Amino acid sequence: MTQRHPEIVLGVTGSIAAYKAAELLRLMVKAGWGVSVVMTEAATRFVAPLTFQTLSQRKVTTTSFEPVETWMPEHISLADRADLLVVAPCTANTLAKIALGLADDSLTDTVLACRAPKVLAPAMNDGMWTNPATQANLATVRARGITVLDVGSGDLACGRVGQGRMAEVGTIFDTLRGMLK
């Protein structure tokens, strides 16, 4: 009897931390998981989709308006087969969209349609992280049962030291592995 491997949707948003998502993807593939990557347009400005396509050996979704090979829209197909959905990094913008239930790009379309457990790994500037709007959005998504990983403190891309760094890749992977058991 063949054991079924988990199917993961990895959402990547437009943050400098997007390069860390490639390492997370590598760990997931090495663990034998099937991983489909969905990138926001802004994410493609930080890391090329080809990087994720090469590591996952799967087509990367970057828009909801690509021609589909079947009648099923891509975001619905991804959402339906996901055992787990993770957004790493998750920007303040994407967090707000998820909190409000907006679906205006391929990633937020997929998040809204997905019934599988969801994990967000926020990454943003300390001012954005501590903003009351961001904190309210975090409370909203947590109240809906979405797992939000703690951000780290340290050097930020803006040159400051503070809270807002995306959780370490190993921490994200360990969280996902624990949720799949």
Q: How far is CA 107 from CA 103, 148, 165, in A?
A: 8, 17, 21
Q: Tokens 């959905």 correspond to what residue?
A: 85
Given the residues 128, 158, 179, 180, the one annotated as active site: 158
Give the torsion sign (CA, 78, 50, 25, 152).
Answer: negative
CB-CB contact of 112 with 101 (8 Å): yes
Q: Is residue 114 annotated as part of the catalytic site, yes or no?
A: no
Q: Scan for tokens 């970057």, then name that residue.
A: 62
CA angle 62, 101, 23 (to 5 degrees): 40
Position 67, amino acid:
P
**SS3 at position 163:** strand
Catalytic residues: 158
